[in-house]
């Protein structure tokens, strides 16, 4: 058995959040809405909007986010009950050094989302500057200048932790709701609006048609990595009820609305890029401000949780790891944006099995109770969890059903089987069974 000393800073990256630092419903709801009102979901919704009917899209988005809400709500319950981040929860399921695997995966994917967010802000700003003759068209140097300045600003606020996330969310959430409602209102009820009947009658472009299963997978994949990191934020909740409700509301309402805002815009204007839609609607300047604030809150959440992950691996305080992660995400921003769909597929394979194993370990193997991290005796590496994760990832490649659910189901089943088998052989040694 291996134990490891746990030292906490103001963000409690190495242990449980004490009750004296817990927060109430409204404070946590604002943080979680700031997390789930994610501009990338608006862009993903735009891609679905040109490939589906509105009715089919609506059902797919609601189904995907209902599953996301159930998944993240379960993780939220665990976090609020223990006060632990997803990286500390991983020590119970994967072991001390075993937890480096989920911590690395989650940190890497969140650094990736940070980079995607920067690019999604920088590109509309570049377009606006080009259209006004302030910079030359396709000026790579100007684009990188915007990317670097944006990355530095977003990283600087993440350095200060949960307090800055709350303040930014109070501003960003109302702004993005207003932007989405304005854009959708212009599409439906503006001078050239298609109306509700036109929206319902819109047909997908044959070359861009998307089936329901893939649409649900995209809805889940757009936030499965962020959803797995839910414990990093809701561990600050005063109790499990607050954590679960704020998480379910945020994922089901916030992410669904962002998908619908993007889809309605592209269906009405017949454009696949939501930034093009906002420009022809005359909303690009407001969009740059609203989406900028929105991306800022989500990116701060992403780089915050990636900092916790690297801190779990290295023992370096979170306030320093976020600086490195922010730099890395900034450097990768343009490349990640150009490979966005492939990145979602990557997340759909690697991340869901981690969450499934954490949930299975907590509720099945430990009957919904963990000892406090400071008192726990962690194993070094819990190999059944590692093997179950690998098999879950392999099953996720099966070209049938929903990738995330395939991987989660397989990982949970294998983990239970291996845990039971190992415990049986511990209780019934080979020598004893021969007698």
Q: Give the model confidence (pLDDT) of 142-165 as tens digits.
A: 999 999 999 998 888 777 766 666
pLDDT tens digits, residue range 189-232? 877 777 788 888 888 877 778 888 888 888 887 788 789 999 99
**How confident is the model over 131-149, as a mean pLDDT?**
88
Looking at the predicted structure, is the pLDDT value of residue 435 above 60? no
pLDDT at 421: 93
The H or E element that residue 419 is part of is: helix 403-427
pLDDT digit string (tens) for 236-290?
999 999 999 999 999 888 888 888 888 888 887 766 566 677 777 788 788 778 8
Hey, which bits of 63-143 come out as E strands? none
Interval 96-111 mean pLDDT? 92
Question: Do 256 and 62 touch, CB atoms closer than 8 A?
Answer: yes
Residues 6 or more apart whose CB falls under 8 angstroms from that of 16 comprise 82, 83, 84, 88, 235, 372, 373, 374
pLDDT-derived band at 3 (thresholds 50, 70, 90) equals very low
- Name the token pair of 93: 């399921």
The share of the chain scoring above pLDDT 70, in percent, equals 91
In this predicted structure, what is the pLDDT of residue 2?
43
Quick count: other Cβ atoms within 10 Å of Cβ 412? 20
Position 5 confidence tier, pLDDT thresholds 50, 70, 90: very low
- The per-residue pLDDT for 17 is 86
pTM for this structure?
0.85
Q: What backbone phi and psi angles, to 5 degrees, belong to 331?
A: -65, -35
What confidence tens digit (pLDDT) does each residue in 364-393 have? Answer: 999 999 998 888 889 999 999 999 999 999
Give the pLDDT of residue 236: 92
What's the rounded mean pLDDT across residues 39-68?
Answer: 86
Number of H helices, E strands in the chain: 22, 0
CATH class of the domain defined by 21-336: mainly alpha
Residue 198 has a pLDDT of 82
Q: Rounded to whole angstroms, how far apart are CA atoms 6 and 232?
A: 16
- For residue 293, pLDDT over 60 is answered with yes
The residues facing 237 across adjacent strands are: 23
Who wins on pLDDT, 339 or 77? 77
Give the separation between CA 96 and CA 2, rounded to whole angstroms.
7
Q: How far is CA 312 from the centre of its chain?
A: 19
* 419-425 average pLDDT score: 90
């Amino acid at each position: 058995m291996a134990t490891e000393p746990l030292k906490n800073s103001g963000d409690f990256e190495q242990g449980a959040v004490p009750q004296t630092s817990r927060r109430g419903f409204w404070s946590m709801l604002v943080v979680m809405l700031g997390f789930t009102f994610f501009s990338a979901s608006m862009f993903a919704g735009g891609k679905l909007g040109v490939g589906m009917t509105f009715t089919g899209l609506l059902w797919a988005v609601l189904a995907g986010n209902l599953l996301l809400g159930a998944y993240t709500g379960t993780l939220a319950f665990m976090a609020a009950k223990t006060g632990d981040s997803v990286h500390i929860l991983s020590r119970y399921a994967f072991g001390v050094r075993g937890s480096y695997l989920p911590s690395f995966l989650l940190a890497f994917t969140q650094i990736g989302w940070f980079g995607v967010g920067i690019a999604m802000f920088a590109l509309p700003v570049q377009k606006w500057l080009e259209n006004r003759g302030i910079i030359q068209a396709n000026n790579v140097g100007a684009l990188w200048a915007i990317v670097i300045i944006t990355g530095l600003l977003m990283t600087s606020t993440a350095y200060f932790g949960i307090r800055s996330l709350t303040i930014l969310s109070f501003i960003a959430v109302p702004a993005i709701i207003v932007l989405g409602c304005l854009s959708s209102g212009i599409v439906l009820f503006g001078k050239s609006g298609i109306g509700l009947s036109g929206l319902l009658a819109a047909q997908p472009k044959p070359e861009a048609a998307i089936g329901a299963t893939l649409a649900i997978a995209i809805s889940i994949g757009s936030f499965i990595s962020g959803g797995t990191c839910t414990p990093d934020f809701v561990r600050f909740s005063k109790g499990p009820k607050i954590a679960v409700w704020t998480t379910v509301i945020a994922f089901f309402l916030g992410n669904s609305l962002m998908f619908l805002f993007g889809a309605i815009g592209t269906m009405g204007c017949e454009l696949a890029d939501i930034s093009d839609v906002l420009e022809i609607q005359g909303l690009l300047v407001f969009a740059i401000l609203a989406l900028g604030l929105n991306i800022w809150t989500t990116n701060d959440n992403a780089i915050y949780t990636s900092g916790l992950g690297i801190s779990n691996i290295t023992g370096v305080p979170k306030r320093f790891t976020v600086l490195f992660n922010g730099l890395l995400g900034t450097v990768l921003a343009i490349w990640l944006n150009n490979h966005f769909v492939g990145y979602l597929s990557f997340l759909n394979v690697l991340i869901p099995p981690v969450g499934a194993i954490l949930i299975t370990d907590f509720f099945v193997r430990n009957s919904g109770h963990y000892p406090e991290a400071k008192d726990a005796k962690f194993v070094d590496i819990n190999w059944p969890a590692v093997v179950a994760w690998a098999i879950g990832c392999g099953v996720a490649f099966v070209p049938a059903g929903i990738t995330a659910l395939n991987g989660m189901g397989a990982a949970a089943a294998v983990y239970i089987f291996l845990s039971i088998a190992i415990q049986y052989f511990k209780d019934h040694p080979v020598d004893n069974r021969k007698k």
